[in-house]
Amino acid sequence: MNRSTRAAVTAKFAVVSTLALFADTTHAQPAYPSKPLRLIVPVAAGGNQDLIARNVMQRVSELLGQTVVVENRPGVSGVVGAEFVARALPDGYTWLSIANTFVTVPAVLPTVPYDPVKDFVTASVIATIPQVLVVNPALPARTVKELIALARTRPGQLNVAMSGAGSTGHMASVAFSRAAKIEVTHVPYKGNAPALIDVIGGHVSLMFDQVSTSIPQIRSGKLRALGVTSAQRSALLPDVPTIAESGVPGYEASTFNAVLAPAAVPREIVARV
C-alpha cells in the first residue's frame, strides 16, 4: 500500500467511524440531527487538533446534510473547553475534540472541574499521529545529538514552546529531557499554532509539534526538523530520523485525537462507534 493509498484509507476510516457517531442514532431519535451540531475544540485555531477536527467534520456535514460547527474554546490546556462540554445539555448536539492532553492534564494540574472518566463517554478515535522535534534554524543544532550537547552546555537556557501544561508537546518534551538528561525551560501557549509562530520567529528555541502542521514550515526552511517521536520514521518525513535512533534509545511519543460526548448522552447515539 503506497503513501497516498494509506492516507486515503485513513481519511475514509476517520470519516466513516465519526459518521457512525451521528448517523446510527435514527432508531432512538428519528429526527436526529434536526439542527446543527457543535464540536468544541479546546485549543486555539490552526493547530493540528483543530485542523483534523475541521477536516473530518466538513465531510461529516456533507454526508449528513446537517452542519457540524467547529468551535474553538482554548484555555488552561484544554480544561476550559472540556468543562463546557461536560456541563452541556446531553442531547447529542455538543461534542468534544480531545488529544493526549485530556488524559495528562488531570495528573498535572491540582484540580480540574470535571471527572475525565465519569463525565464523558468516548465516541470515536479519529487519528493517531507522531510528533516532530523542530527548532528555529538559527539554533546551532542540526541533529538530536547536537541539541542534547548544546542543552548540556546551557542548562535551563533553551526554551521549549508548548500548548499548555500537560499538553502533548509538554509531555513529549518532559520525556525527552529526562531521557536525554538535560534541563530546559517550558513556555506555555494557548495552542500549538501560536507556539509554532514563536518558534519560527525565534522567540523560543524549539518545540514538539504534530508532523502534519510542521511540514510546510520545515519544507520552506522556516523550521528545522531534528527527529520524529514515533518508533519508525514518518512516511511524510522519510529523511528525518526517529529520536530513538538519534541517541535517545527507546524514546517514543505519539498523539491521538478522539471525539467525546457528555456522559448522559443516550447510549444509542454512540453505541456503534
Cell 492532553 belongs to 101
Most confident among 20-34, 124-138, 148-162 (mean pLDDT): 148-162
CATH code of residue 155: 3.40.190.10
Could you tell me the pTM of the whole model? 0.61
Residues 72, 124 within the same domain = yes
Identify the helix (H) or strand (E) that includes residue 84: helix 79-86
Indicate if 192 and 265 belong to the same structural domain: no
Q: Do 54 and 91 have their domain in common?
A: yes
Residue 116 sits in the same domain as residue 15: yes
The residue range of the domain holding 72 is: 3-128+257-270
Task: Select from 187, 172, 181, 195 the least CA-distant residue to 147.
Answer: 181
* Helical packing angle, 48-64 and 3-23, nearest 10°: 60
Counting the structural domains of the chain, the total is: 2
75-85 pLDDT per residue, tens: 998 999 999 99
Q: Are residues 114 and 198 in the same domain?
A: no
Rounded Cα distance between 187 and 56, Å, is 30
CATH number at residue 62: 3.40.190.150
Domain identity same for 190 and 94: no
- Are 266 and 91 in contact, with CB atoms under 8 Å apart? no
Q: Which residue has the cell 511540514?
A: 215
Same domain, yes or no, for 80 and 148?
no
Question: Cα-flanking dihedrals φ and ψ of residue 167, to 5°?
Answer: -70, 165
Statement to judge: residues 186 and 233 lie in one domain: yes
108-151: pLDDT as tens digits:
888 999 999 999 999 988 888 889 999 999 999 999 999 999 99
